[in-house]
Amino acid sequence: MSKDCIKIADDYTGYALSNFCVPRHYEEDLENVLIPWGLIQDRTERLARDIFQDIRDEPLTALCVLKGGYRFYTDLLDKLTTLNRFHASVSVQLHVDFIRLKSYENDDSTGDIRVIGGDNLSNLRGHNVLVVEDIIDTGRTMSRLLAILQKYEPKSVKVASLLVKRRPDSTGYRPDYCGFEVPDKFVVGYALDYNEYFRDLNHICVINDTGKAKYKIQQNSH
């Protein structure tokens, strides 16, 4: 059963860029700060506690979806490791694994996924697996990934996603652990990218039309 998300309303205007430290090379490319870095950290700490209490004394393989998930993944595992140190009665043995997918070009999902990197997934057989993702858009990518993972016969699979986007074409998929439910806007930062840019931005922000035009992939015409 999916945990509750913090829901950010469609008419929420976020914070002015001038209120936070934003890299100068991105100042003209962003509408606002949607979720500040500090709030991301606090929410991640709570998600770590929920996961810790659900898994309890069983080993857990945390599977990072690269590249966008790496910041959330690193911070989430750091907080799980901290819980291990301070809860003598409960201990969750953590293993790490990685997979890399490709499904975006410009601001549209291509509708399919390609596995273009990652470790040997046969190592997941018989393990409790936590897939850690940055954002769920339509849900199609995650549903297809879960179908791939089930072929390797893990003991269980749960999903933690920092963001879930409200989209009219959503499949209705909901992760087991969700940080924030956000409006249908293209967000960047905290390792979420637009054509590989903005990964070096700490806050989660909304990209503007100037930013989309500046960093758009130019299509070859033949």
For residue 25 the two structure tokens come to: 């090379």
| Residues whose CB is less than 8 angstroms from the CB of residue 124 and which lie 6 or more positions away in sequence, other chains included | 61, 63, 97, 149, 152, 154
CB-CB neighbours of 164 under 10 Å: 24
User: How far is Cα 180 from Cα 116, in angstroms, rounded to an integer?
Assistant: 28
Contact 52, 90 (CB under 8 A): yes
Q: Count CB atoms within 10 A of the CB of residue 192.
A: 23
Q: Are strands 60-66 and 94-105 parallel, antiparallel or unpaired?
A: parallel
Respond yes or no: is residue 137 known to be catalytic: yes
What distance in Å separates the CA atoms of residue 26 and residue 145, rounded to the nearest whole number?
32
Amino acid code (one letter) for 132: V
Euclidean distance between CA atoms 81 and 27, whole angstroms: 35
Active-site residue, from 54, 137, 169, 176:
137
Residue 199 is given by DSSP the state T
CA neighbours closer than 13 Å in the CB half-sphere of residue 68: 23
- Catalytic sites, residue numbers: 137
